[in-house]
Amino acid sequence: MFDNTHSITMLFNASKVYDRQIIEGIGSYLQTSKADWDLYLEEDFLARLDHLDEWSGDGIIADYDNPEIQAALQKAKVPVVGIGGSYRNASDYPNVPYVATDNYELVNAAFQHLRQKGIQRFAFYGAPVDEHQRWAEEREHAILDIVEKEGYECYVYRGHPVRAETWQYTIKRLSDWLKSLPTPIGIIAVTDARARHLLQVCDHIGMLIPDKMSVIGIDDDEIARFLSRVSLSSVKQGCFDMGFQAAKTLHKILKGQNAPKRPILVPPERVAERQSTDFKAISDAHVMQAMHFIRQNACRGIKVDQVLDYVGISRSNLENRFKEERGHSIHTEIHNEKLQRACKMLKETDETTAQIAKICGYPSLQYLYAVFKKHYGKTPIEYRENAKPNAVEVDLDLLLEG
C-alpha cells in the first residue's frame, strides 16, 4: 500500500546537468518506494519564489546553493530538505536536513587521477568569489589543503566572470596565466564550463594537451564535452544519489521519523577519463608533437605521411624516436587511437556500429569487425554486451522499509 498523498514542491533552477540529475534521483526514489507524492515543478524548470508563502503543500526539496531560495524558506511552515555543496566549517550548513555533494572528495578524485598519470605539478582554475558559487571557494580550499598534505604546490587562478562584453579580455588574461605556468602540469577546473575555457585557450596558443597541460573538470557535462576538439576528462558528481537521498529523507520526515542530525555527504560517482588527461611522460618534443596531431586527427583517416608533414622531420628519424618513446610505430599509434575511440563509444554511447565505424575513420563496417575480431576475438556487438554492468544495485533500506 502507498502512503497518503503529499504535495511536494521542488525549487531548482534546472539549467545545468547537476540540477536535472538531482531531479532524476528524486523521481527514481518515487518509482522505487511507497511515497505517493504530487510533485510541483515549474514547466521551464525555473524556481519562482513569488507567493511561496501562500503555497499549501506538505514538503519542499530545494537548492540551498541559491541564497535567495535559502532566505525565502527560513520561515517555511512545512518540512524542508536542502541540497547543495559541502562546507569545511560545520557552522556554514543550513539549519535544515541537508544533502550535499562532497566538494573535498570531488577535488581529491580529480587530483588523484592526475597524480596517477605521473603528473607532479598542479594548478587550479577556480571562479571569482560569489555568494551564489560558494562551492567554488570550497573546492579551492580543498585543492590547497590536498596539495599541501601531499607535499606539492598549486598555482591558483580564479579568472573573471563570464560576460559577452568582457569575453576577449577574460580569455587574454587566462592565456597569460597559462603561459606563465611550468609544464608539464595538471590543471583542475572548478567546473566543466571553466575547463572548456582552458581547452579553447590551449588550442589558440598551441599548448599541447595533455602532453604539456592535462585538464580535468567537474560535472561530466555532455555539452561541455562536445564543444571542444579534445574530449574532456571530468569528475561525475553523485547528483542522482543526492536527489534520491533528499527524497528519502523527506519521506521519513513526513512519516513522523526523525531527520538526520548531520548533513548527508555524497561522494563523486566516478572519474570519466578522456583525452584531456591521457598524459604519458614523453621527453622527445617531436614525438610529443606527433602524438598531439594523432589524437586530434586519427579518426579523420590520416596516414603516416600526414604526421610526418606536421612534425617536419624524416620518416626514419620519427619512426626511431617513436620506437624509443612508445615502443611501436607511428602507424600502430594511429591504429591504437582509433581503436580506443571505438571501444569508448561502444561502452558509453548507443551509436550503431556502422556509425561508430564512420566516426572512428574505418573504411567500412566490415573492416571494424575484422579489427575487433583480431584484437579481442569478438565482434563489436559482443564487445558492447560484455562491457555492460552485470549487477543492479539495490537500496537495502528500501527493502527493509517495504
Q: Does residue 402 fall inside a structural domain?
A: no
Question: 38 Cβ partners below 8 Å, 6+ apart?
Answer: 5, 6, 7, 8
Assess whether 320 and 362 both reside in one domain.
Answer: yes
Task: Identify whether 220 is part of a domain.
Answer: yes
> For the whole model, what pTM was predicted?
0.73
Q: Are residues 94 and 123 in the same domain?
A: no
Tell me: do 119 and 229 sit in the same domain.
yes
Kindly state whether residues 126 and 52 are assigned to the same domain. Answer: no
d(CA 11, CA 22): 11
- Is 159 in contact with 128 (CB distance < 8 Å)? yes
**pLDDT by position in tens, the chain (length 402):** 455 688 888 888 877 778 889 999 999 999 998 888 988 777 666 766 666 666 668 999 999 999 999 998 988 889 999 999 999 999 999 999 999 999 999 999 999 999 988 898 999 999 999 998 999 999 999 999 999 999 899 999 999 998 999 999 999 999 999 999 999 999 999 999 999 999 999 999 989 899 889 999 999 987 766 677 788 999 999 999 999 999 999 999 999 999 888 999 999 999 999 989 987 767 788 888 898 889 888 999 899 999 999 999 999 999 999 888 888 899 999 998 899 889 989 988 889 999 999 999 999 999 999 999 988 899 999 999 887 754 333 333 433 343
253 and 292: one domain? no
Contact of 177 with 157, CB cutoff 8 Å: yes
Angle at 72 between CA 67 and CA 73, to 5 degrees: 100
Residue 87 CA to its chain's centroid (Å): 20
Residues 177 and 229 in one domain: yes
- The CATH number covering residue 304 comes to 1.10.10.60
Residue 303 shares a structural domain with residue 374:
yes
Pair (44, 30) in one structural domain: yes
Q: Same structural domain for residues 112 and 232? A: yes
Question: Among residues 192, 29, 2, which one has the least CA distance to residue 99?
Answer: 29
Count of the separate structural domains present in the chain? 3
Q: What is the domain extent for residue 295?
A: 285-387
Whether 135 contacts 67, CB under 8 Å? no
Shared-domain flag, residues 257 and 322: no
